[in-house]
Amino acid sequence: MPVPEIAESFTGSVNRVTLGATKDGGGTRTSIVTVGGARNMVYGGSPNDAGEKPVIAMDVLDARPDDWPDALLEPYKDVLDSPGDWAKKCVEEYGAELICLKFEAIHPDKGDKDATHAVKVTEEVLKAVGVPLVLWSCGFDEKDNQVMPKVSGAAKGENCLIGTVTEDNYKSLTAIALADGHFLITEAPLDINIAKQVNILASDMGFPLERIVTFQSTGALGYGIEYAYSIQERQRQAALTGDKMMAMPAICDVGYESWRAKEAKLADAPGWGDAADRGPMWEAATAVCLLQAGVDIIRMRHPRAVAAVKGFIDQVCQKNNS
């Protein structure tokens, strides 16, 4: 006997956000990406309530990484010194719908590069690919306040997603994102109350709630994923029950967190299997878990993991639409 579908009615929904600007919209992108729009929990109710398909943003660093394991470096070994070529490879060979340009080398402990470097890299990547960009700061407040306004200006008119802003450091980048027409990433440390507070602070500065994407510190498989899952699920529930301050799409950083795990990165681990397989599997499993909690944009790194997760997304969305 078939199990009847149980559909729960909600009063709210997740905001829809469209990233990127084509020529008609005043930008130079050749494609745009829309996320959000869900009116129910993941897999819940009618397929019409599912919203937009989740998307993957592939990471490109602004300089050659010095802490990536060999299994992760291998797919990019010929482009690591050129962010533009790196981004192009992600789009043309690995099917990236978004590029997340991570400004790692501007951090005082990781190169201390200046705004001139960051602007040059931004322009290089914008020229190399036509997909929308996520512009991600280094996380050192003083340096981000110096550099990220210049990055924002270099990408003005492209409707990028830029961040991150926190409860203690939100004013500068929020104002710049508003002036340059970008979308904003608000960050919280796995705390739904702080997440709401950062959104309120950005809103109080006149930033539209409909142009915000939220980021909760991501936990990888075996390293706090249960907390990350719970927070993402609670955020979706808050949006669906009508909380406008929590109705934003969500982004998570699966690539960075997954490849920090020793199970993913250790090459010499007898009994754990080949590192070339183990790392991508760890990243893919983390991503799939968080997708089921309601995440809209997944930052990822290894192309094999990206392919696996894209296949999962396509299968789920095909079933929802059948």
The DSSP letter of residue 217 is P
Residue pair 279/244 in contact by the 8 Å Cβ criterion: no
As a whole-number percent, the residues of the chain with pLDDT over 70 amount to 96
Q: Give tens-digit pLDDT for 139-165.
A: 999 999 999 999 999 999 999 999 999
Q: Give tens-digit pLDDT for 57-82.
A: 999 999 999 999 999 999 999 999 99
Residue 6 has pLDDT above 50, yes or no: no
Q: What are phi and psi of 250, to 5 degrees?
A: -120, 145
Q: Give tens-digit pLDDT for 242-275.
A: 999 999 999 999 999 999 999 999 888 878 988 8
Residue pair 161/129 in contact by the 8 Å Cβ criterion: no
**3-state SS string for 85-114:** HHHHHHHHCCCCCEEEEECCCCCCCCCCCC
Residue pair 234/7 in contact by the 8 Å Cβ criterion: no
Q: Give tens-digit pLDDT for 44-55.
A: 778 888 899 999
Residue 3 has pLDDT above 60, yes or no: no
Maximum average pLDDT range among 119-123, 263-267, 315-319: 119-123
Residue 98 has pLDDT above 80, yes or no: yes
Q: Which class for 77: exposed (0-12), middle (13-18), buried (19 or more C-beta within 10 A)?
A: exposed
Residue pair 197/191 in contact by the 8 Å Cβ criterion: no
- Please provide the CATH number assigned to the domain covering 16-321: 3.20.20.20
Q: Is the pTM of this model over 0.75?
A: yes
User: Is residue 7 very low, low, confident or very high in pLDDT (cuts 50, 70, 90)?
Assistant: low
Interatomic CA distance for residues 174 and 149, integer angstroms: 10
- Residues in Cβ contact with 209 at an 8 Å cutoff, skipping those fewer than 6 apart: 15, 199, 203, 244, 245, 247, 248
Interatomic CA distance for residues 83 and 89, integer angstroms: 10
For residue 177 the two structure tokens come to 């994102």
Q: Give tens-digit pLDDT for 164-202.
A: 999 999 999 999 999 999 999 999 999 999 999 999 999
Q: Which residue has the tokens 């960051």?
A: 118
Instruction: Print burial letters for 78-87: b (CB count within 10 Å at least 16), e (below 16).
Output: ebbebbbbbb
3-state class of 128 per DSSP? helix
| Cα R_g (the chain), whole angstroms | 19
Interatomic CA distance for residues 161 and 20, integer angstroms: 8
